[in-house]
Structure 1
Amino acid sequence: MIEVKDLYKEFSGIPVLKGVSTTFEKGKTSMIIGQSGSGKTVFLKCLLGLHIPEKGEICFDGRKHTELTIKTKRQLRKEIGMVFQGGALYDSLTVEENIMFPLKMFTKNSYSEMLNRVNFVLDRVNLVNANKKFPAEISGGMQKRVAIARAIVMNPKYLFCDEPNSGLDPNTATLIDNLIQEITKEYDMITVINSHDMNSVMEIGEKIVFLKDGVKAWEGTNKEIFKTENEAIVNFVYSSNLFRKVREAYLNETNQ
């Protein structure tokens, strides 16, 4: 479990996170949502250790991040997989070399052992025989799958994703959503996704944390969103007429 307790973060004296507390559990896809400027990207970067909060605590399975030594922080880093918004693949490296990069950095495995692991995760994301292709030679959806393969190659306990569906068509976005959820359950990982995509939220949001102006304004599941009377989350999620109609239909059906 990741436990976040009373997290505060500010920049140049301006508060961005104002006492956020929540938890993220194993085997669940958890979503961080909110408008631009709500603090969700800063929150994700705090979880990753890229920002140090002024106040509060982040615990990874009981390990307080602020109390970790350089050695234990390095060990924690090995347990974290990250899928960046743009994929962040190295253009000059092949698919195989991109995925192998963390193994070269963090392990002393032989080349054959690393290659076996690369091929295993490529098979898991349905990209068999893509080893020698360069990022420019594959589609955006395939690049995201390579990014996911690289993120899980170290068999992480924690998976963080920043807008994994950014720039993808709806069908490919759904495939990526399903893949992330399947892998989360298969590896019993703690997965936290920063997303603007309300389709993703509704499909795989087993836990949703809604940030507004640096405060946790609501949290719940994608099922509970349909029933909530919280004005902030209703206005945010159901600004689309389609989602509003879906909610109305759901409420009408449950009230019958």
Structure 2
Amino acid sequence: MIQVENVHKSFGDAHVLKGITTQFEQGKTNLVIGQSGSGKTVFLKCLLGLFEPEQGTITYNGQVYSELTINQRRDLRQEMGMVFQGSALFDSMTVEGNVMFPLEMFTKQTKAEMKDRVDFVLERVNLVDAHQKFPSEISGGMKKRVAIARAIVMNPKYLFCDEPNSGLDPKTAILIDNLIQEITKEYNITTVINTHDMNSVMEIGEKIIFLKNGFKEWEGTNKEIFKTDNEAVTNFVYSSELFKKVRQMYIEERN
């Protein structure tokens, strides 16, 4: 679990995060949504320890980040997996090399042990025949799965995903959503996902927080978001005709 208490973050005169308080539960897919400029990316970087808030605390399973030593922070970061928006694979490395990279950097495992772990996670993301392919030789959806495999190869307690469905077709995006949710539950990970994808909200939004202008404007589940009367949320969620129809269905069911 990650607990966030009254977090503020500024850059010069720009007050980006304004007193955010929430918690992200273990074993659930926690989504952060909001318009561009709402503070989502800065918030995610605070959760990753890349930015440190001027005020407030972020606590990871009882460990208050601001109270940790440098060595303790390093150990905590090794318990975090990250799926970047553009996958961020090394073009000069094979799929196997990309996934093995964190093990080579941060563990003292033998080559055989690392190979066994890489084989395991690649099989888990349904990439059993791609070990020796390079990123340029695989599809966008496969790249995302490689990125997920790399993110979980160290068996993290926390998984962070930045727009994991960016650039994917709808069918592939659903497959990636389902894969992230399955892994979250299977390994009991605390997963936090930054997304603009309302399909992700509908499918895997077990906990959602909506940011607006640096404030936490709303939080709830994917079922509750279609019933809220919060105008800022409804304007964001129902910006397309499809989701307006979905909301109307919920309203009719309530009546």
Give the TM-score category using the shorter length: over 0.9
The percentage of counterpart residues that share the same residue type is 71
Cα drift, residue 167 of structure 1? 0.3
Give the ranges of 4+ consecutive aligned residues of structure 1 lying more than 4 Å apart after TM superposition: none
Code of the residue aligned with 1:109 in structure 2: it is: Q
* Unpaired segments ≥5 residues, structure 2: none
Shift of 1:243: 0.3
Cα deviation, 1:44-97, whole Å, max 9, x if unaligned, reads 000001111111100000101001111111110111000000000000000000
2:192 is aligned with 1:192: yes
2: CA distance between counterparts of 1:142 and 1:26? 26
Aligned amino acid, residue 18 of structure 1: K
1:254 positional shift: 3.0
> What is the alpha-carbon root mean square deviation over aligned residues?
0.6
Which residue number in structure 1 is paired with residue 151 of structure 2? 151
Q: For structure 1, which runs of at least 5 residues remain unmatched after alignment?
A: none
1:77-96 equivalence runs, <5 A: 77-96=77-96
Could you say what secondary structure the match of 1:208 adopts?
strand
Cα distance in 1 for residues equivalent to 2:60 and 2:220:
21
TM-score (norm 2): 0.99
Aligned partner of 2:78: which letter? Answer: K
2:23 paired with 1:23 = yes
Secondary structure of 2:85's counterpart equals coil
| Residue of structure 2 equivalent to 1:117 | 117
- TM-score w.r.t. length of structure 1: 0.99
Q: Does 1:247 align with 2:247?
A: yes
Rounded to whole Å, the distance in 2 between the matches of 1:126 and 1:136 is 18
Query: Residue deviations 1:156-201, cap 9 Å, x none?
Result: 1000000000000000000000000000000000000000101111
Tell me the SS of whatever aligns to 1:96: helix
**Counterpart in the other structure of 2:64:** 64
State how 1:101-112 maps to structure 2 within 5 Å.
Answer: 101-112=101-112
State the one-letter code of the partner of 1:197: D
Q: Take 1:52 and 1:190, find their aligned partners in 2: how far apart are those partners?
A: 20
- Choose 65-74 or 155-164, whichever is displaced more: 65-74
Matched, 1:219 2:209: no
Q: How many residues align?
A: 255
Deviation string, structure 1 residues 192-242 (Cα, Å, up to 9, x no partner): 000010111111000000000000000000000111111110111011111
Q: Whole-Å Cα distance in 2 between the matches of residues 221 and 195 of structure 1? A: 15
